[in-house]
A = this chain, B = another copy of it.
Amino acid sequence: MRFAFTDDQLAFRDAVRVLLEKECPPSTVRAAWTNTTGRTTSAWTALGEMGVLGALVPEADGGLGLSELDVVLLAEETGRVALPEPFVEHVFVGAPLVASEATATGMMTVTAGDPFVPYADTADVIVRLGHDSFLVDPARDSDLTPRRSVDTSRRLFAVERGSSDRDLTPAEVSTAYWRANLGFAAQLVGLGHHLLESTVEYVLERKQFGVPIGSFQAIKHKLADVRIALEFAAPLVYRAAYSLTHDDPDQRIHVGMAKAAAADAAALAARHALQCHGAIGYSFEYDLHLWIKRVWALGAAWGDSTWHRDLVARAILDS
């Protein structure tokens, strides 16, 4: 029994953290709100060069052939910096699904979504999941209807099915769902930690009534609650990664638990972060909302907490 990551896994996490701190500062996230792609270019390239984009692609296909357990912390890091890229869509879903040298290196970007597909306009391959799950024929010009997300960096599109598109097998669909939700759960934990840390910084420096507002019990207890929620959400996410890696029969339950807990913890972090920041956090020029809106978007994408709790309930009660 050992519930902890290996030194290699932590070292990989640290390397990616260093890369992202350099390649994805808040200014880059903000820029993605207004640029043409909603993405970063340089961070994506750098992640490709490090091999991260092909982490789950078999070595035979030019990837690193790593496991969910090896990459879950990387997703958490991309959440921490609010990386505006189809990271989970490509690394957890698309690249392993369309395994090739090109997808492994990120020369080709694969995106995926349900109900809407982010970055479908700039991706090379589009996977649409939902009632009808299919892989868009790269040959045809995909007809895309843009939809605007509250997180403007997430360029969403409704994707119509074309006759030459191929159905995903049930196995492909479920792998995609559980891996995607694992990835989003990890990003939500990372987003939550950033929101907590930046709020702690703020309440330490912001003074009202002659003292830092962080000395008021109302602020202290809100942030303590966020810390508690994150403390107990993270292990569920890591456990889900372990279950997917080891093909645990209960892997769906574990992913459902992880997404529900992570989405709720991140939503709490977003809510309290905004309230503790007050009018400053409510200002568009201040970076806080970039993280808050990502939390709103990811919390509901691919099934919200209620949907995932329902999944857990079915496993517990109806079996």
Interface residues of A, Cβ cutoff 8 Å to B: 216-218, 221
A-side binding surface: helix, strand, loop or mixed? helix
Q: Contacts of A217 on B, CB cut-off 8 Å? A: 216-218
Q: Contacts of A218 on B, CB cut-off 8 Å? A: 217-218, 221
5 chain-A/chain-B pairs, Cβ below 8 angstroms: A216-B217, A217-B217, A217-B218, A218-B218, A218-B221
| Count of chain copies | 2
Question: A261 → chain B, closest Cβ, in Å?
Answer: 24
Q: Contacts of A221 on B, CB cut-off 8 Å? A: 218
Q: Contacts of A216 on B, CB cut-off 8 Å? A: 217
Inter-chain CA distance A218–B221, complex, in Å, is 8
Question: A159 → chain B, closest Cβ, in Å?
Answer: 34
Question: A11 → chain B, closest Cβ, in Å?
Answer: 42
Question: A228 → chain B, closest Cβ, in Å?
Answer: 15
Question: A221 → chain B, closest Cβ, in Å?
Answer: 6
Inter-chain CA distance A216–B217, complex, in Å, is 8
Q: Which residue of B lies closest to A219 (CB)?
A: B217
Question: A54 → chain B, closest Cβ, in Å?
Answer: 50
Question: A173 → chain B, closest Cβ, in Å?
Answer: 34
Question: A209 → chain B, closest Cβ, in Å?
Answer: 12
Q: Which residue of B lies closest to A216 (CB)?
A: B217
Question: A303 → chain B, closest Cβ, in Å?
Answer: 24
Q: Which residue of B lies closest to A218 (CB)?
A: B217
Inter-chain CA distance A218–B216, complex, in Å, is 9
Inter-chain CA distance A272–B259, complex, in Å, is 31
| Leading 4 A-B pairs by shortest Cβ distance | A217-B217, A217-B218, A218-B221, A216-B217
Inter-chain CA distance A218–B220, complex, in Å, is 10
Inter-chain CA distance A24–B218, complex, in Å, is 39
Question: A276 → chain B, closest Cβ, in Å?
Answer: 14
Inter-chain CA distance A216–B218, complex, in Å, is 9
